[in-house]
Amino acid sequence: MRPVEIKEGIWWVGAVDWNTIDFHGYSLARHGTTYNAYLVMDEKITLFDTVKAPFVEQFLDTIAQVVDPCKIDYIVANHLEPDHSGALPQMIQACSPEKVFCSPMGVRAIDAHFHPQGWPVEAVKSGSSISLGKRNVHFIEARMLHWPDSMLSYIPEDKLLIPNDAFGQNIASTERFVDEMDRSFVKRRMTEYYGNIVTPFSQVVDKILDAVDEMNLEIDMIAPDHGLIFRGAEDVAFALDSYREYAAQEDTNRAVVVYDTMWHSTEKMAQAIADGLTDEGVSVKIMALKSFHHSEVMSEIFQAGAVVVGSPTHNNGILPLVADLLTYMKGLKPQNKIAAAFGSFGWSGECVKVITQWLEDMKFEVVDPAVKIKHVPDQAMLDQCVEQGRAVGKALKAKLK
């Protein structure tokens, strides 16, 4: 890879992963990702983060196009997850840095991941700073955004924020900046990233954004560790405003009807429920779990005000793909959803009870009654499904008022 100078004396030296299709349990839909790292050329040459271990040789070669890696003085580890620290042992071996800076929780993470011997690790607390010569680096701890060790680095002289995973998108490309791509595409990838990784930590996002506001930081570039870099006032505002929007998890006039089916009865019910929702003016997306990965479904649910989940009864429970989705969704803790359950059965009929319990455990506002149909629905049964969709739509509209 070629290094890219993102500001005078500051270089992108990361790696592009074109081939990865799974990231933290969600499908990248073949968009790939990047592991961004940044090299600051100053009196103290400083590297911010590294890359995933398999890319270490490429990483060293990219750095070498700017400076001999052995001349790096400092390494800042904003986050110790292996996609950003996998190459850290090799970098320490290659450059023998004077210091490796990380958060206090990062010290523990380094010990747990690498069991180092004699590494020059130094903890930097929130509000502390270091001098690189002409530049200074201010540190902001961001615990649980999205790991306990996470922190942000800010260089005031360059108005540059390096926030690690925050504001990231999984995009593999030769472009390095948001303004080089269609913004709607970037927004979609950023929404997916937030919905599938950051959602449980939305309260932390609000606190960090508040802290940035209170510090009156001048920012004209945000350089995350995945995806594209935001440069200029317009794109920086786009990034910050998007995260405010995501963290709020406000209701929208959208619904997702998600299901798996055995002999198409549950599928017919899903379509009838969607008709009822559209009768109430709600925008609907129908998602069959045999066709959509659970992370694709979660990206839609994250942006929806209502979710309706269906399954036939299977071994006195629900189909595995539905259980998979509900497990995944519960872990991400989405907020402020209207919900309902539906299903079909041939013998025992536990499906609706099982799904309803999942939805209640997630603290969703469950609309009763659920609809459960034996074997194949006739028109009267499908009419019940339409009415369920209308009931969910009315509940959502009432909440939106």
Question: Do 158 and 12 reside in the same domain of the chain?
Answer: yes
Known active-site residue 193:
yes
Instruction: State how many domains the chain has.
Output: 2
Q: Say which of 31, 138, 226, 294 is annotated catalytic.
A: 226
Residue 310 to residues 247, 256, 289, 303, 383: CA-CA distances in angstroms? 28, 11, 10, 19, 16
- Give the active site residue among 17, 42, 49, 81: 81
Q: Are residues 61 and 180 in the same domain?
A: yes
pTM greater than the 0.75 cutoff: yes
Mean pLDDT value across the chain: 94
| Exposure letters 349-381 (e unless 16+ CB within 10 A, then b) | bbbbebbbebbeebebbbbeebbbbeeebeeeb
81 is catalytic: yes
pLDDT tens sequence across 199-220? 999 999 999 999 888 899 999 9
Whether residue 234 lies in the annotated active site: no
Q: How far is Cα 303 from Cα 319, in angstroms, rounded to an integer?
A: 25
Active-site option among 22, 24, 57, 122:
24
Residue 83 annotated in active site = yes
The CATH number assigned to the domain holding 345 equals: 3.40.50.360
Among 248, 267, 295, residue at a domain's last position? 248
User: Known catalytic residue: 241?
Assistant: no
Q: What percent of the chain has pLDDT over 90?
A: 85
Cα(60)–Cα(119) distance, integer angstroms: 19
Q: Are residues 143 and 262 in the same domain?
A: no
Are 208 and 309 contained in the same domain? no
Q: Quick check: helix, strand or coil at residue 307?
A: strand
Answer yes or no: do 175 and 108 share one domain. yes
Distances (CA, A) of 36 to 84, 170, 272: 8, 11, 46
Same domain, 387 and 272: yes
| Domain extent at residue 148 | 4-248
122 is known as an active-site residue? no
- Is the pLDDT assigned to residue 23 strictly greater than 80? no
Residue tagged active-site, from 26, 38, 154, 193: 193
Which of 42, 49, 149, 165 is an active site residue?
165
Q: Which of 248, 277, 292 is the last residue of a domain?
A: 248
pLDDT in tens, 281-319: 999 999 999 999 999 999 999 999 999 999 999 888 899
Do 75 and 202 share a structural domain? yes
pLDDT for residue 237:
96
Answer whether residue 24 is part of any domain: yes
75 and 218 part of one domain: yes
Same domain, 107 and 227: yes
Instruction: Please check whether residue 401 lies inside any domain of the structure.
Output: no
Using one digit for the tens of pLDDT, what is the confidence trace for 56-99? 999 999 999 999 999 999 999 999 998 889 999 999 999 999 99
Confirm whether 293 is a catalytic residue.
Answer: no
Which residue, of 198, 215, 248, is where some domain finishes?
248
Which of these is catalytic: 31, 146, 293, 294?
146
Mean pLDDT of the region 8-19 = 96
Q: Does one domain contain both 216 and 264? A: no
Q: Are 108 and 149 in contact (CB under 8 A)?
A: yes
Number of neighbours of residue 142 by Cβ within 10 angstroms: 27
- Same domain for 217 and 264, yes or no, is no
**Is 31 one of the annotated active-site residues of the chain?**
no
Instruction: Give the pLDDT score at 12.
Output: 98
Nearest to 138 by CA among 122, 125, 154: 154
Question: 17, 31, 79, 293: which is the annotated catalytic residue?
Answer: 79
Q: Which of 17, 42, 49, 83 is catalytic?
A: 83
pLDDT digits (tens, 9 = 90+) for 256-277: 999 999 889 999 999 999 999 9
Do 234 and 262 lie in one domain? The reply is no
